[in-house]
Structure 1
Amino acid sequence: MNKKIFYPLIAIMTFALVGIIFVQGFWIKTTLDNKERQFSLNINQALKSVSEQIQSREMRDYLAVYQKLIDSIGSPKESQLSAVFKFVDRNENTNQTYIYSHGILEEDYNVSAKLFDQESLDSSSIIDYKGIKTTTIIDEAFDREMQNMSSIERLQRVERLSLMDKAKYASIFMELASLKPIHRRLTNIELELLLQRELRDRDIDIPFQYRVFNGTFATKVGSDNYTNLEGLRKYKSPLFVNENGNSEFELVIAFPERKFFLRSSLTTLILLSLLFTLAIIITFTSTIFQILKQKKVSEIKSDFINNMTHEFKTPIATIKLAIDAIENVNVRNDIKKRSQYLKMIKDENDRMNNQVENVLRISQLDKKENIIKKTDCNIHEIIEESFIHLKLLFKNRNASIVNDLLATRININGSHEDLVNVVVNILENAIKYSTDTPIINVSTHNELDYIYVRISDKGMGMSIDVKEKIFDKFYRETKGNVHNVKGHGLGLSYVKKIIDLHFGTINVDSNLGKGSTFIIKLPLNN
C-alpha cells in the first residue's frame, strides 16, 4: 500500500475511533445526568406531597374536634354581619333597585381555646367567620317593610358561600398547633408510610433515611441510621408552612443506594456500550497490527524474492556460459575441458537445488508436514560433520575455529541431518557477518539433563532491534547493500523451528561491533 494513502487512512480511522469513544462517553454521561435530574424531580414532588398531606391531616384533626363541639352546642350564641362591599343598580323600567353586597358573617359559639389546649392562656371564644354574598331586590311597595326586617330575617334571603374549612380556621389552628412540639404533631410511622407510598408511586423502591430538623437542630422525628449518612446528597422540604409561607421545620431525606439505583436501569445499556466499544478498539488495534505486520512481511518477501533472484542469477549465468563453451568445437573435442564444464554445470545445479530444498523445507515445517525423524545422535559428531561441510568456506576466509567440546553426556534423540544443518547455518552466518578474519569458538557443556552448545564469533554483532527479529522468516541483517551478504533470510528461521521440534531452546547474546553468541539447549537422551 502506498505510504501516502496508508498513513492518512490510519489517522482517519484513529480519529473516527476516538470520536466513537467520545460520543459513547458523552451519551452515557448525558443519560446519567438526565436520570439524576428526573430522580431529583420525583423526590422533590414526593416530599412536597408528603408535606401537604401531613398539614392537611393536622387541619382535618382540628376540624373534626371543632365540628363535634358545634354539633353538641347547637346554634351560634351571637351572629353579626359586617358588610364589606356593596353595589347598587337601579332599573328604571321596573322601578326596582338591585343591591349586591359581599360581607363576613361572624358566629360566636362561646367555645374557649382551652378546650383544644389545656395549657393555653387564651380564654376568649372561638368565632366562626363565613363569607356572605347577598342580592337584595327592593321594590317601592315593600321598601318600608324591608327596612323593618331584622338582621336574622334578612339572612333568609342571603345566598351563603361557605369557604373551605382550611381557609376558615387556618390561622387559628396553625397558631394552636405551633405551640405543640413536633413529635406530638407528627409520628415516625405516619411520616415513613407516607414517604414509602409517594416514592413507590414514582417507581422509587430503594432504602432511605430521613430526619425532621428545626433549623439546624435535629428533632426526635426521623430514622435511627440518619446520622451515618455523611457525604450523601440530601433532599429537603419544609413542613407545616404558615400563611406567610414560612416554616420552622424541614424534612430531610437521603438515599444510601441512590447511585446504584440510578445506574441499575442503565447497567445493561452501559455494559453493552462498553462491550461494543471495547470490541471496536480490539478489532481496530488488531487490524492496524495486522496491516503493519503484513506490510512488513510484504517488504521482507520482496527482499527475499530479490535475494533469491540474485542467488539464482549467478548459477544460471555460469551454466549458460558452460553450455556455450561445450558447444565450441575446440572444447567439444577436448574431453578434459568438457568434463570440467559439465562438473561446473552439475555444481551450480546442485547449488540451486539446495536453495529450493531449503525453501520447501521451511514451508513443510510451517505446515507441520514431513515431521523430522529422530534417532540416537551424538552432538560432537554433528559438530564435526558441520566443520567438514564448511571446510572450503573456512579455508577461503582463513577462518580460525576453536573447539572446546567439554560435555561428557552427548547423546540426544534427534534428527542427525537437520541438526547438522542447524550448526552449518549458524557457522555460515558467523563467517558471513565477520568483517575481518573470522574467529569462531564452538563449545559444549552439560547442565542437569541438558547439553548446551555455544557458537561465538567476533563479527559485526547485532543491535537489540535486530536480535528480536533474527528468527523471523525472511529477515536478514544487511551491511548497506542488501546483496553484500549472500542468503535469503530462511536460515535462522529454519534453525529455530528445528530446535523447537527437538524440545530445545536457542538464544542469542550479541552486542553491536563485538560479535554474537548463539546458545542451543537440548534435552539429553535418557
Structure 2
Amino acid sequence: MKKKFIYILIGVITSALLGLVAIQLYWIDSAVALREDEFSRDVKSALFAVTSKLEKIEALNRVKIHQKSQQLFNQKAKLLYSMQQTTFDTSAYFEKDGVKYRVNEQHQQTANGKVYQKTVESVSDNGSEFQMSIGVQGGLPITNYSFEDSLLNYQQNEKLMMLDEMLKSIYQTSQYRPILERVNKQILDSLLKLELIHRDIKATFQYGVFDYDGNVLLVDSLSNINKIRQSNYYAQLFPNDILETPHFLSIYFPHQKGYLLKTMWLMLLTSVLLLIIIVLAFTYTIQTIFKQKKLSEVKNDFISNMTHELKTPISTISLACEALSDKDISANPSINSNYINMISQENKRLGLLVESVLKSAMWDKELKLKKETFNLHDVINQVTSNILIQVESKKGKISKNLAAKEYEITADKVHITNLIYNLLDNANKYSPTEPDIIISTENYKQGILVSVSDNGVGIKKENVNKIFEKFYRVPTGNVHNVKGFGLGLNYVKALVDKHGGEIQVVSEFGVGTTFKVYLPFKNNENN
C-alpha cells in the first residue's frame, strides 16, 4: 500500500470521524436545549397554576365571608323582629354587697288586656328571702309602663351592637388587603412543591414575592435575593385585581444545569460511550494500518537481507561446482578436496540460516530451557575469547569489568552463552572501525546485571523500541554492510523473558549503545 494512499485514507476517515463527532455534539446540544425549553414550560405552567389556585382560594374565602355575613344579617333581622313582639319573659342575676338578686321581667297579651310585671328578689342557697313586684294591667299603653333599663332592651341592644361589629369586620375583610395578608407562606410553599412534583420536577428551588418596583416582600432564601428577583421564571399574583398594584411570584433553581444533566444522564452517557468507541475504533484502525505498513517494510527488508545472505553461499557453491566440473582441477586431489570442503561448509551455512528462520517462529512458545547452575563469569570469558579474533581484525578491543561478587546462576547455559555472544557480536558488527567494547557485571537485586557497551553507530530514538521485534532491522536502505535477519535481539529478548529477567537499551545515535540484562540467580518458573 502506497504511503500517499494511506494518508488519503486516513484523511477521509478523520474527516468522517470529525463530522460524526460534530453531529453527535450538535445532537447532544439540541437535546439539552429541548430539555431546557421543556423544563422552562413546566416551571412557568406550575407558577401560573399556583397563582390561579391562590386566587381561587381567596375567592372561596370571599364566598364563605359572604355566607357568614348573610347569616349574621339574618340573625340581626330576627333580633329586630323579636324586639317588636309584645310578649316576652326574661330574667337576670346580679350580686351587690354580697347579696344575690334576680330580676324578672314579663310582658304578655291576655284576654283582659296587656300585663306587665317586673319582680326583684334576693336569693340565697335556702331560697327566696326578699321579693318586690311591680305590675300593671289594664288598657293603658304598654309603653307607659316600660323602663329605659329594661333587661330585654339591654340584652337585645348588646346583641345588635355585637352583630354590627361582626358585619363591619366582614365588610372590611372583603376589601383588598396587603399582599402579605392575602398570601400565606405555608400554603404558597406547599402549592409550589405540589405543582412542581406533579410535573416531575424535583430540583431544589427558592422563591420570593416582589412588588412592581422589585422590592422584596416575601423571600425563601436571603442569600440569593438578587438571583430570585432576576429569574426568568415569574408570574403575577392575583392578575384579576384591576385597581391593585401588581405583585409577582418569582422562583429560582440554584442547581438547574446539574439537575437537567442528571435527568439526561442515560442519554448523555450513551452518546459519550458511542463517541469513545468510535474514536477508539478509529485509533485502532490507524494503528493497524501503520502496523501493516511497518510489517510490509520489515518483510521487504527481511527478504532483501535474506536474499543477500543466501546469495553468497549459493554463489560460492556454484563456483565450486563449476571448478569441479573442470577435468584439470578435478584431477588434483588436494584441490578437489578443498572445493568439496568449501561446498560442505557453505551448505552447512545455508542449513543454519534456514534453521534460524524456521526456529524463530517457535521461540516465544516452544523455547525449552535445560537449567543448571554455572559460573556466569566463565561463560563471559569463553565467549569473549571466541569473538576477540573478529574484533581484533577490525583493530578493536574488548574490556572486561566483572565486578559481581556472586556470579553463579541457575539457567540454561547454552542459551545464556548464545545471549552473551549475540550482544558482543552486535557490538562488533555495529562498530564500523576500531570497536571499543566493554562488558561488565554487578550484583543487582537478587541476581546479576550484565552490561555490554560499544562505540558504534548507535540507534535513533524512534527505532529504540522496535529493535526487539522479530525480523526488524534499523533501516539502512539497500546497503547491507551488516549481515543478519533481524532475529538476534528478538532471540535475546525471548531468552531474558523466559529466565524471568529484564533487558534495557540506552543508545545515542552516532555515539554508541549499551545493553543491560538482568538475570536472577534462580528462576522458579516452569519452562
2:361 match: 363
2:310 match: 312
Cα 1:29–1:455 shift into 2, 3 Å = same
Contact (CA 8 Å) 1:208, 1:255: kept in 2 or not? Answer: yes
1:52 match: 52
Q: Deviations over 1:443-497 (max 9, x none)?
A: 2233453222222222222232232322222222355643122111111111111
Contact (CA 8 Å) 1:211, 1:226: kept in 2 or not? Answer: no
One-letter identity of the residue aligned with 1:284: F
1:20 match: 20
Q: Which runs of 5+ in 2 are unaligned?
A: 75-162
2:383 match: 386
2:192 counterpart of 1:195: yes
* Structure-2 separation of matches of 1:117 and 1:260: 51
C-alpha displacement of 1:509? 2.5
C-alpha displacement of 1:116? 5.2
C-alpha displacement of 1:69? 4.3
1:248 match: 246
1:5 match: 5
1:397 match: 394
1:414 to 404, 411, 416: 411
Residue 470 of structure 1 aligns to a residue whose secondary structure is coil
Residue 431 of structure 1 aligns to a residue whose secondary structure is helix
Contact (CA 8 Å) 1:376, 1:414: kept in 2 or not? Answer: yes
Q: Deviations over 1:194-230 (max 9, x none)?
A: 323433443334443322223433334x54x464587
C-alpha displacement of 1:304? 0.6
C-alpha displacement of 1:285? 0.7
2:466 counterpart of 1:502: no
* Structure-2 separation of matches of 1:230 and 1:304: 76
One-letter identity of the residue aligned with 1:38: E
Cα 1:344–1:424 shift into 2, 3 Å = same
Residue 487 of structure 1 aligns to a residue whose secondary structure is coil
2:403 counterpart of 1:427: no
One-letter identity of the residue aligned with 1:20: L
Percent of aligned pairs with the same amino acid? 37
1:285 match: 283
* Structure-2 separation of matches of 1:47 and 1:447: 77
C-alpha displacement of 1:189? 3.0
CA RMSD of aligned residues (A): 3.0
2:183 counterpart of 1:181: no
Say how many residue pairs are matched. Answer: 432
Residue 23 of structure 2 aligns to a residue whose secondary structure is helix
C-alpha displacement of 1:370? 3.3
Q: Deviations over 1:401-457 (max 9, x none)?
A: 223333332211112221221122122222222222222222223345322222222
One-letter identity of the residue aligned with 2:20: I
Cα 1:376–1:490 shift into 2, 3 Å = same
C-alpha displacement of 1:307? 0.3
1:459 match: 456
* Structure-2 separation of matches of 1:397 and 1:323: 32
2:518 counterpart of 1:521: yes
* Structure-1 separation of matches of 2:354 and 2:257: 69
Contact (CA 8 Å) 1:510, 1:517: kept in 2 or not? Answer: yes
Q: Which structure has the greater CA radius of gyration?
A: 2
Contact (CA 8 Å) 1:240, 1:247: kept in 2 or not? Answer: no
Aligned positions of 1:312-351 closer than 5 A: 312-351=310-349
Contact (CA 8 Å) 1:239, 1:248: kept in 2 or not? Answer: yes
Q: Deviations over 1:163-210 (max 9, x none)?
A: xxxxxxxxx96xx21xx2323212123223332343344333444332
* Structure-2 separation of matches of 1:491 and 1:245: 100
C-alpha displacement of 1:118? 7.9
Which piece of structure 1 moves more, 272-281 or 231-240? 231-240
Residue 51 of structure 2 aligns to a residue whose secondary structure is helix
Cα 1:503–1:51 shift into 2, 3 Å = same
One-letter identity of the residue aligned with 1:451: I
Contact (CA 8 Å) 1:46, 1:199: kept in 2 or not? Answer: yes
TM-score, normalisation: structure 2: 0.74
Cα 1:327–1:193 shift into 2, 3 Å = same
C-alpha displacement of 1:13? 0.9
* Structure-1 separation of matches of 2:265 and 2:225: 25
Q: Which runs of 5+ in 1 are unaligned?
A: 75-110, 121-171
* Structure-2 separation of matches of 1:235 and 1:431: 82
C-alpha displacement of 1:302? 1.1
Which piece of structure 1 moves more, 454-463 or 27-36? 454-463
One-letter identity of the residue aligned with 2:496: I
* Structure-2 separation of matches of 1:478 and 1:296: 11
Which piece of structure 1 moves more, 470-479 or 37-46? 470-479
Contact (CA 8 Å) 2:65, 2:170: kept in 1 or not? Answer: no
Residue 390 of structure 1 aligns to a residue whose secondary structure is helix
Residue 461 of structure 1 aligns to a residue whose secondary structure is coil
* Structure-2 separation of matches of 1:515 and 1:4: 35
